[in-house]
Amino acid sequence: MAFAKVLVANRGAVAVRVVRALRSLGIRSVAVYSEADRDLPHVAMADEAVAIGGAAPRESYLAIERVLDAARRTGADGLHPGYGFLSENAKFAQAVVDAGLGFIGPSPRWIDAMGHKTNARELASAWGLPTGPGTRVVAADDPGVAAQAERIGYPVMVKPAAGGGGIGMLRVDSPGELAQALDRARSAAERGFGVGDVYLEKFVTRPRHVEIQVLGDRHGGVAHLFDRDCSVQRRNQKVIEEAPAPGVPAGRRRELAVRTAEALARAGYDNIGTVEMLLDPAGEFSFLEMNTRLQVEHGVTEAITGVDLVAAQVRSAAGERLAAILPVVPDPSGHAIEARVCAEDPRRFLPSTGTLARFRPPEGPRIRIETGYAEGNTVSPHYDSLLAKVIAHAPSREEAIACLDAALAAFEISGVRTNIPAVRQVLGSDAFRAGHVHTGLLPECLAAAELQAAGVR
């Protein structure tokens, strides 16, 4: 089926990005918006816009019937979920299909299969992908849980089997901490995701976070579009992403990407997705999870490949074959780095809300800005703190770092606090410039800066 009109069931930067891709394909777009978002750019950019409820996400962007009603009223024949909100909700994807619309994403069965992390680990292992030590779902009354933790080896991580974003993840260093951690993780998982399932996984010290971008079609084809490194994080949330992953031999990265795509092709994966891996200090990869949606950091892959991933995703969902969408998978060109600019305290990372009295993104031939805000808009407490993504693409990693740092220095924002100082602290660190990235790098850089400011050498 070819889409004539697509509803974008999201807000902000991703809604703007999807509308732009739809326009490039000659497809009309429908935006939805909450009471808090009526003045955001995505509302004005779309061909049509529909108000769907209150500022609280459950009254608008998470209200399945309101979203579907907007699609029916506007005559949309497709729906793009963006990322976040309902993008990895299998029940929503099925409801879209049942309503006679094309869901622009993987089939509901894939969202369901990969949305439960222990199921996903088992599938990855069956496909031949590397998986680290871990367990299945640990029952609340399981008498063998202590023995399972001992077998994995402390420290271990207690993790929710559903959801993401670091919610409910707890490190356990000794047997005496395990029972309380399991109770706390179950409670957090139940509150955050409505599913209290938790499992154990080996804790990796100073790991890297490397992921493989894949694109499938409805005809059994799957291709990879190389790798990204998303190791620089705060509280398990990505802050800086880059492609390709630094410090990993190109042959090894490509072998992992090919292996991943071949496994997913055999399994019948059918749209966009990202396979996330941990890379330990010994250089061993292990499967972490699979995101069955467009990733926030897709722009760095687009920069090095020249492929419009959103347009490719739409064409795949419309039934086109991969051979037509990607007749030739290009070799990666140069290096791309993205910084997430967020409205938050740059030290404690607490959200900062208010009106953007000044919002002047940088410009330049090697810079790309993805944002859902404009000067005068209000940053609401109801949603994610992301203000903009700043992407630099240059022939070398060193040039990309310098370009991104200069762009962040030139980004004029007032009315809210931002994390730009923290991001620039990382970009300027010797460790980052040498490619020695890991998930604890950002707090290490901030701690070093505080010691330096205090006169401690």
Unique residue bearing structure tokens 């970009």: 427
Helix 64-74 crosses helix 90-98 at what angle (to 10 degrees)? 30
Phi-psi region of 154 (alpha: psi -120 to 50; beta: other; left: phi over 0): beta
- For residue 127, give Cα distances in angstroms to 196, 212, 290, 398, 430: 27, 15, 13, 37, 38
Beta carbons of 336 and 242 less than 8 angstroms apart: yes
Beta strand ranges found along 235-382 (DSSP E): 237-243, 272-279, 285-291, 335-342, 354-355, 358-360, 367-371, 378-379
Beta carbons of 19 and 29 less than 8 angstroms apart: yes
Alpha-carbon span 145 to 139, nearest angstrom: 8
| Nearest alpha-carbon partner for 414 in 340, 358, 347 | 358
- Strands 48-53, 78-80: pairing is unpaired
Helix (H, G, I), strand (E, B) or coil at 47: coil
Beta carbons of 376 and 76 less than 8 angstroms apart: no
What are 92's two structure tokens? 């929503």
Unique residue bearing structure tokens 């995505």: 42
- Strands 28-34, 5-8: pairing is parallel
Give DSSP secondary structure letters for 132-161: -SB-SPPPTT-TTHHHHHHHH-SSEEEEES
Catalytic residue among 293, 315, 366, 397: 293
Beta carbons of 97 and 79 less than 8 angstroms apart: no
What are 175's two structure tokens? 């047997």
Please write down the long-range contacts of 246-254, taking CB distance under 8 Å and 24 or more positions apart. 246/397, 246/435, 246/437, 247/435, 247/436, 247/437, 248/210, 248/279, 253/210, 253/226, 253/227, 254/226
What are the beta bridge partners of residue 276?
211, 289
| Nearest alpha-carbon partner for 105 in 76, 81, 72 | 81
Catalytic, 208? Answer no
| Catalytic residue numbers, as ranges | 293
